[in-house]
A = this chain, B = another copy of it.
Amino acid sequence: MAHRSMTRRDFVRNCAAGVSALALGPLMTRDSGAAEGKRPNIVLIVSDDHGRGDLGCYGNPVIQTPNLDRLAAEGVRFNNAFCTSASCSASRSVILSGLYNHYNGQYGHQHAYHHFISFDRVKSMPVLLSQGGYRTGRIGKYHVAPEEVYKFDVALRGNSRSPVQMADNCTDFIGAADERPFFLYFCTSDPHRGGGKAEDLPYQPDRFGNRREGYPGIKEVPCKPEDVVVPDFLPDIPECRAELAQYYQAVSRVDQGVGHLIGLLKRAGKYDNTVVIYISDNGIAFPGAKTTLYEPGMNLPCIVRTPWQKNKGIACDALVNYADLTPTILDFAGATPRDYQFHGRSFKPVLQRGRAEGWDTTYASHTFHEITMYYPMRVVRERRFKLIWNIAHGLEYPFASDLWESATWQGNLQRGNKRYGKRTIDAYLHRPKFELYDLENDPHEVVNLADDPKHRNKLEEMKAKLKAFQKRTKDPWILKWEYE
């Protein structure tokens, strides 16, 4: 199904046609997500800055993520799942709204002086689930606003760096004697940078939340810097290895929280009627990933485990993105609203398939991280080619403050290296207006084909696609095609 070239109106009409007759009223249609008839509970776990390469089930031989690997073995993992903005607030707003953030208004960070908020017109996933008969709860990182727009019935408390404790704090919510199904939004602050520099360690890596006294219920899994897998987009220098080791430890903490949460679902007798989804908001918190729309910034872990999965443990090649999550979860819940349009679409139909035709193109749209970091990028990503439009290409690429200060970036600079991973530092900081990559032959996005006459047609075709996407999704930055 070539949905991406459909109009949004067509798409919504098709969606509405595809859901069944058990209407809840004028607003909702109800289509039991569970083939078995009962509407499932849904747990959406969002970790913070967890890269796709850093799970056992995605091929990392070192990092310890047994619980996530088990979840993937029971379900399906997506190899082409993308955030649409590689920044926490922006990405979470897309996850929770089904709308690109250039349209939902959460253009960048919500907190402190950044102060971006979404529009009141947004109908969010938790609000729609609540209207659809779900009880909704959230715990941990939130980072979107205003609260009325992203309203959950309850906000459970708990240190978002302490995932086992977070899970424990969900016990009553999960086990409540309430015949309504539940939706739980479970968001760790791990493995985000934080907690300061480890002055006591060689190369003084960021702690990534690790602390000497540990966290309740967590068996810390330290990793040696010499054992980590340094991905191609990072420099293989001791500072980077030291930071990756800290990061791995934080990831294992998330994994234990997930394991503990699943244990609680099982003990409450709910696991057999619960959908569990695991994603990360954006790429790893290192220059080259987070805040960029290069692959390490946007291609992320996405594991979906439903109790009715037949082809367990498969990898699905559909290109899905985070604007698809709200439609998908509402589809599970049978709570897809009528007369309201999302930018994404439900990927529930592809969960049993490894190869997913009709899911061959996706888009991304990033504008701000911090308010001071204006760097709008628009991306069209096909299976083989990818186009990035750097709208503010005249600017030096603006750093998130914590990434700029990182031991990895500063260490690489101080060593006088001209490259950072496979890319030159200069190319990283000074980007051309268009970047066109052949991901089959150049998976690290180093050879820009935008000026290559042989790829002129491809470039024009993808520019046209991008512009049509912007028009369809009412992107304010579309005017930048005309004039600055």
**A binding-site residues for B, Cβ under 8 Å:** 105, 107, 113, 115, 117, 119, 370-372, 374, 392, 394-399, 401, 404, 429, 476-477, 479-480, 483-484
What's the Cα separation between A396 and B477 when bound, in Å? 15
Assembly CA distance A404 to B397 (angstroms): 27
Cα-based distance from A115 to B374 in the complex (angstroms): 16
**A194 CA to B483 CA, complexed, in Å:** 21
CB nearest neighbor in B for A106: B115
Name the contact of A392 in the complex, choosing from B105, B107, B371, B374 (C-beta under 8 A). Answer: B374
Looking at A105, A395, A401, the one whose CB has the most chain B CB atoms below 10 A away is A395
Interface of A is mostly: loop
A476 partner, pick from B371, B394, B395, B480, beta carbons under 8 A = B371
Residue A484 contacts which of B371, B399, B476 (CB distance < 8 angstroms)?
B399
Q: Is the CB of B396 within 8 A of A395?
A: no
Report the bound CA distance from A397 to B392 in whole Å: 11
Decide yes or no: A479 and B392 within 8 Å by CB, A105-B113, A115-B117 being known contacts. no
B-chain residues with CB within 8 Å of residue A397 when the two chains form the complex: 484
Would you list 9 pairs from A and B whose C-beta atoms are within 8 A, ordered by A residue? A107-B115, A113-B476, A117-B117, A372-B480, A394-B395, A395-B395, A399-B483, A399-B484, A401-B479
Closest chain B residue to A116, Cβ basis: B115
Distance in Å from the Cβ of A109 to the closest Cβ of chain B?
A: 11
Q: Which residues of B contact A371 (CB under 8 A)?
A: 107, 476
Across the interface, which residues of B come within 8 angstroms of A113, CB to CB? 105, 476
Complex Cα distance, B401 from A477, in Å, reads 12
Question: A394 contacts which chain B residues (CB < 8 A)?
Answer: 392, 394-396
List the B side residues contacting A392 at CB < 8 Å: 374, 392, 394-395
How far in angstroms is the closest Cβ of chain B from A292? Answer: 14
